[in-house]
């Protein structure tokens, strides 16, 4: 125990919290998770690249580029968009971008779970947009919990240890005073529940 305490005391906790917040931004999480499930679920090599390129472009790359455009134009002051009132436009763009990707995946007949995941990004972001009009729910928590729920659908209990990342990310957002405790919890619960329900409904439709 004493050694653990000494180790923690040597860590710059603020830098650690900032690092965790950066690597687990929703855009990076979506990039990594959708790249993985695209190559894991698609059997045809052509479809692996089509699904990966589409999901990554329309859920991660384009929304990130739009945020930096807003920063350049002076409409947003930070990539994480800490001011609640500034989040509406980036969320709206992310919803529209994700929907375009969704229809492209439908056109190419991608694996149903990839299509469902893309839809979840659009619908969850839209719901978060609505919530954000009144309450600053944690996008970091929901943006991590959603993809982890998809991985749990694929791998079952084997994916459960990954859910330990949620309290880690939650700690980073609390330490940086970016969110309250309930905003972090609300984001995680929302991401898991909303994604699971929608994936379940898609599984019935495509079965």
Instruction: Report how far residue 45's alpha carbon sits from residue 22's, in angstroms, rounded to the nearest whole number.
Output: 31
Are 16 and 10 spatial neighbours (Cβ–Cβ below 8 Å)?
A: no
Domain ranges of the chain: 26-206
- pLDDT tens for the chain, residues 1 to 207: 454 345 445 567 888 899 999 999 999 999 999 999 999 999 999 999 999 999 999 999 999 999 999 999 999 888 888 888 889 999 999 999 999 999 999 999 999 999 999 999 999 999 999 999 999 999 999 999 999 999 999 999 999 999 999 999 999 999 999 899 999 999 999 999 999 999 999 999 986
């Amino acid at each position: 125990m004493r050694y653990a305490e000494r180790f923690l005391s040597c860590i710059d906790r603020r830098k650690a919290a900032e690092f965790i917040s950066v690597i687990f931004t929703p855009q990076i999480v979506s990039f990594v998770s959708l790249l993985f499930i695209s190559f894991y679920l698609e059997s045809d090599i052509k479809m692996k690249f089509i699904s990966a390129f589409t999901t990554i472009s329309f859920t991660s790359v384009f929304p990130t580029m739009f945020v930096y455009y807003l920063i350049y134009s002076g409409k947003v002051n930070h990539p994480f968009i800490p001011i609640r009132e500034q989040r509406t436009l980036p969320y709206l763009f992310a919803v529209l971008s994700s929907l375009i990707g969704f229809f492209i995946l439908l056109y190419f007949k991608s694996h149903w779970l990839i299509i469902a995941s893309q839809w979840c990004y659009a619908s969850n972001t839209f719901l978060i947009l609505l919530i954000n009009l009144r309450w600053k729910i944690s996008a970091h928590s929901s943006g991590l919990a959603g993809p982890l729920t998809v991985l749990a659908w694929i791998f079952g209990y084997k994916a459960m240890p990954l859910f330990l990342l949620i309290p880690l990310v939650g700690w980073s957002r609390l330490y940086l005073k970016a969110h309250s405790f309930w905003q972090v919890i609300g984001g995680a619960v929302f991401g898991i529940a909303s994604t699971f329900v929608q994936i379940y409904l898609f599984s019935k439709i495509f079965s």
